[in-house]
Every structure is written in structure tokens, then in C-alpha cells.
Structure 1
Amino acid sequence: MKFTTSRLAMTTAVVMTASVVLAGCASSGGGGQEGGGDPVKIGASLPLTGPLQAFGTSLQTGYQKAVDEVNDAGGLDVDGTKRPVQLVVQDNASTGDTAGSQARDLILDDEVVALLGPATPPLSIPVSSAAEQAGIPALFTITPLEAWKGGNPDGWKWAWDVFFDEDQMTDTQFQTADLVETNKKVALFTDQEEDGIVMGGLWAEKAAEFGYDLVYQAQFPVGNTNFSSQVAEAKAADADIIISQVIPPDGIALLKEFKAQSYDPELFFLEKAGNTGGYPELSGGLADGTLAANWFAEGMGLDREGEFIDEFSGELGGVNSDLGTIVYGYSIAKVLLDAITAAGSTDPGAINQAIGATDATYPAGHIAFGDDNAAATIAVQTQWVGNDAVMVLDADGKAAADVVVPTPGLE
């Protein structure tokens, strides 16, 4: 499914199954644009349907906002000519092979000058590989850095990633647990995709360093729906703290099993799944009080934080990770558009060099890339309270609000 547009009608409703169809309309050109000449085409393969749909629709909103701002101002200045920007989007249905194939189609058939990525390593790595093969710059976010870098041990040259580093992020669960009284027993539930492997390994290593006892660890394939034996073992081990990394549908299945076994831990960290806007409602209330590392939260003090909250929190139903994904999508799109302006050209090599020279503050934070083509931002911890993901641990690893225990949705 392809959308060629510079202003798309968005849907921000979060749906957890692959049967959902995006309702969108296509147009060319952006409102108020004055630019002449051929449009500068930017491509994106996004998970607009499937289990990662919440990330895809939010990224598309952020990308489109950045494109619309440039077009409304008259377009990009390229070689002294104002040119409109056109965003070409395809739906990869949350499938990595499709994302890679679509990236190649966008490069070869649509002749885009650069790519904006999907989300998560299983989708972003195939798109990164396509960019490397073609020699086309590609920018990514909502893709943890270490897992993404692991997709190319030789190092990425044309692909760039802006997000948190798992080494810092996997501290936040233990730092948050330090804020409440528990028996310090931890159970891990992690899937076998790149995120789960990297994060699960780090949590297992760090538990003892933070003074916690890892009493149980479950690893399982993505799409697992039967957690009965794993939950029973964690319960028998008397773990007060659950740290999980699962996709949204698997997270609901996991919560249902905890509820079925009357197992209400003091703290339940639901990484990735818990970063879905409206997740407590989607889970029938079971996710109320669960926690998740977050890249955006009210009170972080990020550039234009209040502006984005005012513009989007109403339609998203609260301040949550969907809003943060819009912010990060907007930010990397701005990095790309600024790089094209700095290059004064649509030559891929010139754009790639300009991306590497980025050193500026955007709504996602300060962005400057290292030699590994990664720009690390800081993760905080949030807890679902109603429709809002409330920051309970700030960027300095300090308490930002009281943590509600035990997990209300499982009581």
C-alpha cells in the first residue's frame, strides 16, 4: 500500500491487530507552498497496520508536520531554487522483509533522495541495509541504538539513528525499583527479537549490580500467547518486580495471565508494549499502573514540549509515548530537511555528510552523531495513570513523582 503525499489525513487511533486498515487520503503538494521546480522526494516504509501500528502512524504524523512546515514556508532552498518536499509513504504491515523491499522500491522506483525509517530494530535494520546498498542516507528513531548497531557489525555508513541507548535505559527499571519497598526479587520476560535479546541480557547482568536477585527468566518467540507456565514459575519464585520486553499484543496476553493467576507484583515494567498510547484501555484496564521507559514525558523540559502537548495530547487522549513518537519523528525529519538545506543539493553524499555534521537542539533533545552514526537521547521512566504516562523517574535518575504500588490493573 503506497501513499504519495505532502499532507496526509492521519489516524492516530491505536489498534493492536494486523487486520486494521489505515484510513488515509493522498494529495500532492502542501498547503501554502510557493516552491517551484521538481519536488524533493523523501521516502518512508512505516508500520501503519499490524502490531506496531501505533509507532507507524505517530511517526507519519511527525514526519508530515515537518514537511508541511517547510512547504508552508515556500519549500527547501536547493541550489538557489525553492523546491517543495514530497513525502512518499508505504505500509510495511509491521514486517521486516516488507520494510526492506519497500525501501528498495522507494529508492529505485520513486527516486527518493533519502529515507525516514520505521520503528524498532526488526523493521529498521532491513531498511538500513537497503540504504547502505544503494548509497542513500536514511534516518531512524524509536529504534534502540545497540540492537540497531548490532545489525551491521562493520558499522553503518549511510544509516543514522536517534534514540536511547539500552545501557542507560536498562538502568531505569532498577533505579525506579529503588524508590519503593520490595523484596528485591526480579523476574524477566523477554521475547527473542533484537530488543528482547539485548535488553534481557543487560537486565540479567545488572540485577546483582543494583542489589537485586534475578529469580526467574523467561525467553520466548514473538507472538507467544500462552504464558501460563512462565507466570506460574515467576509467582512461585515470589518475584515482586516484573521486567518485560514484548510487542503490544503479547503484552496483553501476559497481563491476562497474571490476572488469571491472581498475581499482582509490586512493579510491572512493560517495555515496548507499554509504549502504546491508550494501552490501559486497550488492555481492558490491566495495564493501569504498569511502567515503561519513555523518550518523552511532561516535565522533561524538552524544546517545544508544551507546544507539542497542546497540539496533540487531546486527539491522542493524553500525554503518552505516541506523542513522544510524533516528537521524535518530527525531529529526525527536521534533521534531514536541515541537512538538505545545508548541503544545498540533493546529492546523496552531500546530504549524508551534512547529517553527520548535525549538532543542534530539536524537540527530541540535542542531536549530535558519534562515529557510530548514533545520537543517544535519555530515557526516563513513566507509569500509566489513567490516560497519561506520568514521569516517575527523571533524566537524572531521580524521583519525579510517587510510584503507585502494587500494580492497580492487576489487583
Structure 2
Amino acid sequence: MSTFLHPSSGGRRRRILAPVALTASTVLLLAACSAPTLGGADGGGGDGENVIRIGYVTPQTGPLAAFGEADSFVLDQVRAYYEENGVVDAAGTEYSVEIIVADTQSDPARAADVAAELILDDGVDMILASSTPETTNPVSDQCEANQVVCITTVAPWQAWYFGRGGTPDQGFDYTYHFFWGLGEVGSVYSEMWAAVPGGGSVAQLLPNDADGNAWADTTTGFAPIIEGGGLAPVNPGAYPNGQADFSAQISAFQDAGADILMGVPIPPDFTTFWQQAIQQGYQPQMATIAKALLFPSAVEALGADGENIATEVWWSPSHPFSSSLTGQSAEELAAAYEEETGRQWTQPLGFAHALFEVATATIAASDSVETDDLRASLAGLTTDTVAGTIDFTAGPVPNVSLTPLVGGQWRGNGDGTYELVIVANADNPEIPTGGEIELIDWTGR
């Protein structure tokens, strides 16, 4: 184990744990040990100004790019906020904020690399990362190894927590995560599955990635949830992301007479699967699809075949929460996004905004921007955001805060566009529904 003071760290002490099991990033870690010391106690500003540097890592290109679609809007908003207000810590020291953005290109290895670059080259004091375990896990691992505070979201907490080696009692020192988990999405899906007459079998479309493996886990994944509802899981096995032929999965689902479909594919893969399923005559009455069907563009790509496909809803204009930074309600934030971009609101909008709310609250409750003070602040943090209350003291495991979840279905507007209508809210009745649960109508297809 070696200890060093990183350039621009202002003397903030960090460790490198060797060896780090990320090959490309290990090169960066080793190179940093011989880097010259720059900057000073001003937090790296170089001109006496107190500056806190925040790295922001998301997939802005590649097959997961839809998750980063709202990034530019959110960054414009929060940069304007910080320029006007700065951030003041608990000791009364005011900081300006520099946000350094990195694109993972939807690649876990690159996510690790850009996180290492933010830490070792840019000297960030904190990293925020979002959108699927392919981003959150490698970024968190780099931060944990380098003793840098990291806050992540938009990945089921089990995939983030257990996927990184956490145990029910032993979590992490520097990395924190807020989002829902498989229990929450299982409850929402079960509420919608109950509309299918006779129940029966549930087809599982699960890829061989961190999400798919977490959902497929026979102990903590979806099989116990399905069986607990008196249904039978049908899992023909994991498939690789980017698969071109889903005939084997479709055949297995047809043979089992699975009237319910669930899964967590990436957006392009579900489009491929759904088109092939229709061609081959597989017609489930209910389809609850995570990840791939979160975005209007992904549903519109299906044409009329997107009608009544269901998904989890973790943020919407109907959510009764407001931003602690701008004061905007969820409805106002979504409206501002639509007016500025000309695009329909999208779920990651609220959680991208909430990341900066949590970061700001962490700094405000911290005695300084030293790493140990920031992580102590984060460990005891409870704060209200546009995505709901984030409480890292409540569990369900260390380092994790749950967020509310409801269920929705995509309903066509008759012009090729779709609206996501909340139809299942039994676990969170404070979030209003906008319609009733409906089965997929295959008449005329």
C-alpha cells in the first residue's frame, strides 16, 4: 500500500490500494505515484479561491446513451446555480464549484478509466455517477480504492452493492448509492401482473451483465418474487448484450405458455427481441421491461407495438417532490426541460438533478471539503430532493438509501408518440396514478 498527495488535492491525503483489479486504470494509478505536487490549500484553484471539483460520469454515447440524454440540461442548470450561490460548508467556508464531465461511452472499462483520470489527473474532490451498474460499479470501485467520496444512482441497489462485494453488515467507506432495489420493483411488477387472468408463467429476458445477473440470482433476485406470487419463472439462461437472434428465448417462452414477460435488457436488444417475438407469434398479455423501456424514444422505435408495455417509474412530473437547489417541483423541472430542449421529459432527468442536490447537501453538512469530513457528512445525511428523501442512515444496508417506485404503461397518442402513464402505486400512494392497468391488445396484429 502506498500513500501520496495528489496534484491539486490541496494536501488532501488519499491512498492507493495495490493491485487494483482494473488493468487499464492500474496504469493510471501507478503513473500518479510519481506525479509532481501542484496546487495548494486553496483546493487547487491556484489563485487563492476555494474551489471544490466534482467529477460527473455517465454514458452519453453508445447503447446506454439515452440515460445521459438530460445531462446537458441538468449541467447547465446546476452550473448556473453554483455560479450564483456557490456552496458553503458547515464551518462557513464558501466554495465555487467546478464540474468536470466524463463520458463512459457505455463501456465499463472506460468508466473505470475516466474515473481514475478524474481522480489522478483532475484532482476531483468528489465523483457523481449515474446509470446502470456498467457505470456505477467501476466508478465506485475506483473511488473506493483511491479514497474519494462517490455518490451514484440509477442502478438497482443490489447490483451496485452485492455486485461490488458488499455484505449485509459490511459496506464501503467512500461510496454511497441511492435508488430502488429488486424488492421494490418486484412489488410494483407483481401489482401489474395481477391483472393477467390465471397468472401462470413469467418469462425472464435477462442478459449476462451486472443487472441481468442480479435479477437472475436465485436467492436475492426475481425468481423468489415470482414464486412468492404463485407464478412460475421461465429463465432459458443469460444472453450476451448485442445478441441478434432471440429465437431460443422466444421458443422457450412459447413452450411455457408465459403470458407475462419481464426483463432488464439494454434498449437496442429489446427492440430486436420484441420485433422477433411478434414475427414468431409470441404474444404475452403483460410485459414489464426495465432499463430498455424507460425512454420515449425507445418506445417510439417500436411503432404501434409499444402500446401498453409496462416499466418501473422512478421519476415523473407527477412525483410530489421539489428541488432543494432551484425550488422547482418535479412538474416544473420536466416542463423546463421540454421547453428548452424540445424533447419529452425522461426519467433520468430527476435523478441527475438529485445527484447534485445530494452533493451540495453533503458539502453543506461537512466541516470541510477534506475527504474524511465529506464521507462523515455523507454517512449521516438525510436530505430532500426532487427525487424524494435521501436518507443514508435508514438502510436497507450500509451506504444505500431507497427511493420510491411506482409502475407505468406506455400509451400511444395516435401520432407516433407515447406518454408514460402511472398505473400502479400501491407502495407509494402519494404518487398519483393517471390511469388503470391494461393488458396488451394483440387484436389485428
Instruction: Place the TM-score, normalised by the shorter chain, in its bin.
Output: 0.7 to 0.9
Compared with structure 1, are the counterparts of its residues 164 and 64 closer, same or farther at alpha carbon in structure 2 (3 Å cutoff)? farther
Alignment of 1:371-386 (within 5 A): 372-386=398-412
- Letter matched to residue 329 of structure 1: A
Q: What corresponds to 1:76 in structure 2?
A: 87
Displacement over 6 Å in runs of 4+: none
Compared with structure 1, are the counterparts of its residues 63 and 335 closer, same or farther at alpha carbon in structure 2 (3 Å cutoff)? farther
Partner of residue 327 from structure 1, selected from 332, 344, 350: 350
Structure 1 CA distance for aligned equivalents of residues 49 and 128 of structure 2: 22
Structure 1 CA distance for aligned equivalents of residues 74 and 214 of structure 2: 28
Aligned residue for 1:117, secondary structure, equals strand
Partner of residue 253 from structure 1, selected from 265, 272, 280: 272
Q: What corresponds to 2:438 in structure 1?
A: 404
Aligned residue for 1:219, secondary structure, equals coil
Q: What corresponds to 1:25 in structure 2?
A: none
1:86 aligns with 2:86: no
Judge conservation of contact 1:62–1:325 (CA < 8 Å) in 2.
no
| Larger RCO of the pair (alpha carbons < 8 Å, separation 6+) | 1
CA shift for structure 1 position 118: 3.0
Partner of residue 286 from structure 1, selected from 305, 309, 313: 305
Structure 2 CA distance for aligned equivalents of residues 229 and 343 of structure 1: 54
- Letter matched to residue 124 of structure 1: T
Q: What corresponds to 1:58 in structure 2?
A: 70
Q: What corresponds to 2:49 in structure 1?
A: 37
1:152 aligns with 2:178: no
Q: Deviations over 1:141-181 (max 9, x none)?
A: 10110110111335221011010011221222121111343
Judge conservation of contact 1:258–1:410 (CA < 8 Å) in 2.
no
CA shift for structure 1 position 263: 2.3
CA shift for structure 1 position 70: 2.4
Judge conservation of contact 1:162–1:332 (CA < 8 Å) in 2.
no
Q: What corresponds to 1:272 in structure 2?
A: 291
Q: Greater shift after overlay, 145-154 or 206-215? A: 206-215
Compared with structure 1, are the counterparts of its residues 216 and 162 closer, same or farther at alpha carbon in structure 2 (3 Å cutoff)? closer
- Letter matched to residue 169 of structure 1: V
Structure 2 CA distance for aligned equivalents of residues 173 and 305 of structure 1: 24
CA shift for structure 1 position 379: 1.7
Q: Greater shift after overlay, 39-48 or 397-406? A: 397-406
Compared with structure 1, are the counterparts of its residues 99 and 60 closer, same or farther at alpha carbon in structure 2 (3 Å cutoff)? farther
Q: Deviations over 1:311-350 (max 9, x none)?
A: 124546435xx2x211111112111112112225221111
Compared with structure 1, are the counterparts of its residues 216 and 41 closer, same or farther at alpha carbon in structure 2 (3 Å cutoff)? closer
Q: What corresponds to 2:419 in structure 1?
A: 388
CA shift for structure 1 position 216: 5.0
Structure 2 CA distance for aligned equivalents of residues 46 and 211 of structure 1: 38
Q: What corresponds to 2:215 in structure 1?
A: 199
Aligned residue for 1:385, secondary structure, equals strand
Aligned residue for 1:191, secondary structure, equals coil
Aligned residue for 1:278, secondary structure, equals helix
Q: Greater shift after overlay, 79-88 or 345-354? A: 79-88
Q: Greater shift after overlay, 148-157 or 276-285? A: 276-285
Compared with structure 1, are the counterparts of its residues 141 and 63 closer, same or farther at alpha carbon in structure 2 (3 Å cutoff)? farther
Count residues in correspondence.
373
Q: What corresponds to 1:173 in structure 2?
A: 189
TM-score of the superposed pair, with normalisation by structure 1? 0.84
CA shift for structure 1 position 309: 2.5
Compared with structure 1, are the counterparts of its residues 233 and 119 closer, same or farther at alpha carbon in structure 2 (3 Å cutoff)? same
Structure 1 CA distance for aligned equivalents of residues 426 and 124 of structure 2: 37
Alignment of 1:155-234 (within 5 A): 155-201=171-217, 202-234=221-253
- Letter matched to residue 260 of structure 2: I
Q: Deviations over 1:63-93 (max 9, x none)?
A: 54333212223x1235655432111011110
Q: What corresponds to 1:101 in structure 2?
A: 113
Partner of residue 335 from structure 2, selected from 299, 302, 310: 310
Partner of residue 259 from structure 2, selected from 231, 235, 240: 240
Compared with structure 1, are the counterparts of its residues 146 and 316 closer, same or farther at alpha carbon in structure 2 (3 Å cutoff)? farther
Judge conservation of contact 2:309–2:440 (CA < 8 Å) in 1.
no
CA shift for structure 1 position 209: 1.3
Judge conservation of contact 1:278–1:317 (CA < 8 Å) in 2.
no
Q: Deviations over 1:182-214 (max 9, x none)?
A: 543221111111211222332222222112233
Aligned residue for 2:290, secondary structure, equals strand
Q: What corresponds to 1:8 in structure 2?
A: none
Structure 1 CA distance for aligned equivalents of residues 315 and 84 of structure 2: 27
Q: Which has the larger radius of gyration?
A: 2
Judge conservation of contact 1:259–1:410 (CA < 8 Å) in 2.
no
Compared with structure 1, are the counterparts of its residues 409 and 46 closer, same or farther at alpha carbon in structure 2 (3 Å cutoff)? farther
Compared with structure 1, are the counterparts of its residues 206 and 333 closer, same or farther at alpha carbon in structure 2 (3 Å cutoff)? same
TM-score of the superposed pair, with normalisation by structure 2? 0.78
- Letter matched to residue 62 of structure 1: V
Structure 2 CA distance for aligned equivalents of residues 384 and 316 of structure 1: 20
Structure 1 CA distance for aligned equivalents of residues 76 and 378 of structure 2: 19
1:353 aligns with 2:343: no
